[in-house]
């Protein structure tokens, strides 16, 4: 399936979208950019921290609400579009449901286990309790209300056409996001035969019954890193931080990198992909699944 | 600001590294804290281990440059790559000995604000938010924050408590409110080291960095800093501390 | 470390021991037998289902309490020692804290996250609510009280000396048991170099900070299966079911297979190991952890 | 008991397999249910998938003999090997269309006892317990139990409800008590198939297996079985159903 079709069919206006769930790596920038290109509106973005992608979706006016622990540009600092939206309502006002990294994970586990809330000690004494209506204190513990995304958008190293995804490196809250979400859209560096994914069922991220789309989108996480495939493009984040300092600068950036491009293949031609590509090999030691 | 032999940041890293005890499980952040962790590992704490909220456990920090904790060199050689909630589980069990938290502003009771300047509904500045900061502040056994010493950063009371230190500063505030760890152990600034009374309260000046004065600290702090009982001088970075941090910071 | 030393040091009398957490596979029979040999007493056994091992520990008089969803002999039916203990107090009375498979997992997650309980809809309407004091109904949900084992004993395919364990196949409640437990004792088919385990940090089961002992004990899960190493020894389970039908029969079985043997090496000489060994190869497709 | 062409167990497997709809996510047990799953997959439900509480998802059942669901042939070729709590999460979300539960005894309201015969504190027989049975009974959308038709197994009221069916038999009992799914869809015995009113209540005879009679059912059932409105005959296993189950059961 093409990314355009996947976003069109499975990420309608108004969706609650979990995206960027592995924190700084494997961020589905290509999918986010496609949402922008399609003029998606009134999204609720759900994630732990977001390294620039939430900022871009907010700046493009796609977002109604942010449910997250941190929104900015990890190596560069504040998110300028996030600031403009929250401070000045530019391009539109957004609602912010603050979380901590742990509490957003628990919100997803609550949804995965289909209970109204899960308890924790984190957030006790924090003013975040007063800004997020889905957090409340009872019996000396914080009850974190369930967050069920309509869709989790996840970038992985490899997947097969049936939706069995292999991802590696730290996974943040990816597993709970996929289990909690109504459906999962996958983008992947490599579309592989089922014999590859099924050779290691322990590494399969989600039950395929949750997965509604598998999109082969190499480089779909740029400028974020992909273990074994791409290094992080630090200078791209730095340039984005500088250019997004003003709304005009952001709009120029957006035109150049998203709106004027038909898709990821064209995007990948606009920078030195080779310099970012991982060339080395550090293979996992295989394990034997034989049964006799 | 520097005496020429080291920068203020290098002194901060050295001070922070000394908060790490051998065998500690440390919740490591990026930038200065990861340098502090590297210095400790290579000097007095060879058995320390570092947790990263992204979902990693390491012994040696990567020798390569890291823009973020999710960068590939931080994964290669990791001792565990897992879900964030598993890392948080260890902290919720009281197994994280020390955490580092960054902050835009800290107040005299050690509370950090990384959320809003001005009213949350109509903020003057929208800061990025907690990330894992509040988790560390509430769940780790003790924590340290590093900050440039400016009056706008060291304020009397933060307007929004993202990551609680000692709350309203009353004795036992953390325990009374169910927070797990003992809270902030130190605020390490470019001028001095603040510490806190054991059961909570107001930050006091524990040591002043070489070449700086209490007057300078007072002039740059947003609350009325009391006269310390004895004004120690912060021990400067040792040669071996500097070797490690300079080897990594490049 | 030898298994005798590990059990001596880390599984004292009165311990709450999570064991057999992967359900029917990877059951640490060798470790359980060593507990019997050392005359361990007053244990609380914690697990989901138990395929014969709980029955043996109960029959040997090691157990004070069972906190589990199911105790028996999976392919053969009832646990005869369990019956004698529960029905007749032979060799001693035991206390039973009933669970379901899901609720014992939640009890361990509650301990892992250090909260008093976790909510669920399972168990609503079940009389199990009346026999387990750690379950209560509040606001229309069951609150499952936290269960923190003193020690989780886990058999894995391979581990290094620092306690980094690789296990594969379905893992049941192994991960939450290890996270919840105060400490973890590992037995493994292969003791490998750290370069093997660290080649795949995503497959490492637990943080090494939880692991207090790594014991190289090939065949330590017999008669339960070990993916890639051993088939299940069905006839051994069948013979155990037959012989354990009476207390005398069980005692004879125990003498022959546990008490009269110094350890696992001697045990492994008493049956046709070769017939059970997995000879085939079905390797997982490796993944690349390179960073540049 | 058999008419020679098939055994009572084969009939039970065929009946159970017909409860599986194409595309269903099925919580599969061992023995007869796994045969039923195989029959369905290979006949009318090629897109069904099977979950195993040990932590597995499969499409095709293994062609090799399984003593337990944790046996290596059940893992080889699995579509997902995970934690049990993840499998339970899918069921708690209402995504498991059908479950199978074994039981020592069932009562006329479909409640199962697999825990205690006699008082729990001083049991006459200690049965193994719930395993995942209560989870399936409470959380799956609908479930089926298969049982040898004996008066000691089909009882008026079980003394201990391990896995609840329709509780006290009152209309809406499950919903009132917060149970998730609609409960038992059928009790498939060696003599007949019982079903239940949509919103709960007492089991009624839906069909009687070829060669058996209502009197025989009544004589072997621990409650007063009412006269069914129309007594259907259970459809015998088809040739293609038998081929699949005989291929696997060896």
Could you read off the pLDDT of A43-98 as tens digits, one per residue?
Answer: 999 999 999 999 999 999 999 999 999 999 999 999 999 999 999 999 999 999 99
pLDDT value at residue A156: 98
Confidence check: pLDDT of B144 > 70: yes
Band of pLDDT at residue C179, cut at 50, 70 and 90: very high
Known active-site residue D53: yes
Q: Does A68 touch chain D (CB under 8 A)?
A: no
Question: Three-state SS across D88-120?
Answer: HHHHHCCCCCEEEECCCEEECCCCEECCEECCC
In D39-97, beta strands by DSSP E: 49-52, 56-58, 80-81
Band of pLDDT at residue D4, cut at 50, 70 and 90: low
DSSP D21: P
pLDDT value at residue B20: 98
Kindly report the backbone phi and psi dihedral angles of residue A224, in degrees, each rounded to the nearest multiple of 5, phi listed first. Answer: -80, 160
**Given the residues D53, D198, D216, D241, the one annotated as active site:** D53
DSSP A226: B
For the question of whether the overall pTM of this predicted structure is more than 0.95, the answer is: yes
**Whole-angstrom distance between the N-terminal and C-terminal Cα of chain C?**
38
pLDDT value at residue B249: 61
How far is the C-alpha of A185 from the C-alpha of A178, rounded, in Å? 9
Return mean pLDDT, chain D. Answer: 95
How far is the C-alpha of D246 from the C-alpha of C89, rounded, in Å? 43
Q: Please state, for a pLDDT cut of 70, what percent of chain D lies above it.
A: 98
Band of pLDDT at residue B1, cut at 50, 70 and 90: very low
Band of pLDDT at residue B4, cut at 50, 70 and 90: low
pLDDT single digits (tens) C8-55: 999 999 999 999 999 999 999 999 999 999 999 999 999 999 999 999
Residues D43-68 have a mean pLDDT of 96
Q: Does B5 touch chain C (CB under 8 A)?
A: no
CA distance B202 to chain A (A): 17
Return mean pLDDT, chain C. Answer: 98
pLDDT single digits (tens) C194-212: 999 999 999 999 999 999 9
Band of pLDDT at residue D217, cut at 50, 70 and 90: very high
Band of pLDDT at residue D2, cut at 50, 70 and 90: very low
pLDDT value at residue D102: 86
Size of interface C-D (CB pairs under 8 A): 193
pLDDT value at residue A2: 97
pLDDT value at residue D249: 61
Taking the C-alpha atoms of D15, D19, D21 and D27 in order, what is their torsion angle to the nearest 10 degrees?
A: -110
Band of pLDDT at residue B230, cut at 50, 70 and 90: confident
pLDDT value at residue B231: 83
Is residue A247 within 8 Å of A256, Cβ to Cβ? no
Which has the closest alpha carbon to D135: D53, D230, D195? D53
Q: Do chains D and B touch (3 or more CB pairs under 8 A)?
A: no
**Paired tokens of C273:** 């190991």
Confidence check: pLDDT of D233 > 70: yes
User: Taking CB atoms and an 8 Å cutoff, what residues of chain D touch C87?
Assistant: 123-126
User: Taking CB atoms and an 8 Å cutoff, what residues of chain C touch B82?
Assistant: 202, 204
Q: Which residues are within 8 A (CB) of A21 and not within 5 positions of it... i.e. 6 or more apart?
A: A47, A48, A152, A154, A171, A172, A173, A174, A177
Partners of D208 in the beta sheet? D192, D233
Which residue in D71, D90, D94 is closest to A207 by CB distance?
D90
Which has the closest alpha carbon to D130: C84, C67, C72, C101? C101
CB contact under 8 A, A288 and C279: no
Q: Does C125 touch chain A (CB under 8 A)?
A: no
pLDDT value at residue D103: 80
User: Taking CB atoms and an 8 Å cutoff, what residues of chain C touch A229?
Assistant: 288
CB contact under 8 A, C124 and D178: yes
Confidence check: pLDDT of C78 > 60: yes
CB contact under 8 A, A109 and B180: no
pLDDT single digits (tens) A239-266: 999 999 999 999 999 999 999 999 999 9
User: Taking CB atoms and an 8 Å cutoff, what residues of chain A touch C118?
Assistant: 115, 118-119
CB contact under 8 A, A199 and C285: yes
Residue A106: strand, helix, or coil:
helix
Return mean pLDDT, chain A. Answer: 98
pLDDT single digits (tens) A67-80: 999 999 999 999 99
Partners of C143 in the beta sheet? C119, C136
CA distance A288 to chain B (A): 21
Residues D177-206 have a mean pLDDT of 97
pLDDT value at residue B228: 85
**Paired tokens of C212:** 């207090």
DSSP string, C191-224: E--HHHHTT-GGGB-S-GGGEEEEEE-TTTTTTS
Which residue in C49, C170, C282 is closest to D81 by CB distance?
C170
pLDDT single digits (tens) B78-125: 999 999 999 999 999 999 999 999 888 999 999 999 999 999 999 999
CB contact under 8 A, B81 and C291: no
Enumerate neighbours of A (3 or more CB pairs within 8 A). B, C, D
Band of pLDDT at residue D1, cut at 50, 70 and 90: very low
Residues D5-11 have a mean pLDDT of 95
pLDDT single digits (tens) B44-66: 999 999 999 999 999 999 999 99
Residues 156-185 of chain A whose Cβ lies under 8 A from any Cβ of chain C: 157-158, 166, 168-169, 171
């Amino acid at each position: 399936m093409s990314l355009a079709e996947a976003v069109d069919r499975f990420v309608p206006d108004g969706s609650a979208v979990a995206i960027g769930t592995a924190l700084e790596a494997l961020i589905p920038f290509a999918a986010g950019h496609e949402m922008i290109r399609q003029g998606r509106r009134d999204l609720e973005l759900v994630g732990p921290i977001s390294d620039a992608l939430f900022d871009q979706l907010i700046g493009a006016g796609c977002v109604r609400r942010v449910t997250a622990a941190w929104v900015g540009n990890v190596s560069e600092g504040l998110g300028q579009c996030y600031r403009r939206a929250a401070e000045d309502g530019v391009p539109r006002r957004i609602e912010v449901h603050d979380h901590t990294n742990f509490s957003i994970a628990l919100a997803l586990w609550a949804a995965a286990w289909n209970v109204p809330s899960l308890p924790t000690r984190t957030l006790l004494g924090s003013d975040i309790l007063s800004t997020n209506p889905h957090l409340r204190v009872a019996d000396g513990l914080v009850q974190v209300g369930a967050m069920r995304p309509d869709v989790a958008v996840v970038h992985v190293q490899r997947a097969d056409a049936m939706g069995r995804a292999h991802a590696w490196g730290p996974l943040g809250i990816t597993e709970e996001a996929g289990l909690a979400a109504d459906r999962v859209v996958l983008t992947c560096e490599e579309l592989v035969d089922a014999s590859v994914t099924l050779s290691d069922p322990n590494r399969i991220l989600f039950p395929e019954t949750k997965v509604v789309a598998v999109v082969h989108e190499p480089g779909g996480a740029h400028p974020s890193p992909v273990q074994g495939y791409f290094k992080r493009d630090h200078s791209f984040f730095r340039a984005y931080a500088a250019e997004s300092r003003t709304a005009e600068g952001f709009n120029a950036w957006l035109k150049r990198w998203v709106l004027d491009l038909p898709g990821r293949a064209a995007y990948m031609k606009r920078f030195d992909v080779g310099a970012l590509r991982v060339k080395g090999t550090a293979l996992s030691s295989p394990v034997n699944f034989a049964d006799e | 600001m520097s005496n020429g032999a080291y920068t203020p940041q290098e002194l901060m890293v050295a001070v922070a590294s000394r908060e790490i005890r051998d065998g500690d499980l440390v919740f490591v952040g990026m930038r200065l804290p990861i340098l502090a962790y590297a210095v400790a590992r290579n000097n007095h704490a060879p058995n320390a281990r570092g947790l990263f909220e992204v979902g990693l456990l390491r012994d040696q920090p990567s020798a390569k440059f890291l823009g973020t904790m999710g960068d590939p060199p931080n994964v290669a050689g990791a001792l565990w790559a897992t879900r964030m909630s598993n890392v948080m589980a260890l902290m919720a069990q009281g197994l994280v000995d020390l955490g580092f938290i960054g902050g835009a502003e800290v107040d005299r009771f050690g509370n950090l604000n990384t959320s809003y300047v001005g009213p949350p509904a109509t903020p003057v500045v929208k800061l990025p938010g907690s990330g894992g900061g509040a988790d560390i502040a509430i769940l780790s056994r003790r924590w340290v924050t590093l900050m440039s010493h400016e009056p706008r950063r060291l304020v009397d009371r933060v307007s929004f408590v993202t990551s609680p230190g000692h709350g309203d500063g009353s004795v036992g505030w953390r325990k009374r409110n169910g927070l797990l760890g003992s809270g902030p152990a130190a605020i390490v600034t470019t001028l001095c080291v603040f510490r806190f009374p054991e059961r909570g309260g107001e930050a006091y000046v524990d040591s002043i960095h070489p070449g700086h004065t209490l007057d300078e600290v007072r002039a740059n702090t947003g609350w009325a800093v009391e006269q310390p009982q004895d004004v120690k001088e912060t021990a400067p970075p040792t040669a071996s501390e500097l070797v490690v941090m300079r080897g990594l910071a490049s």
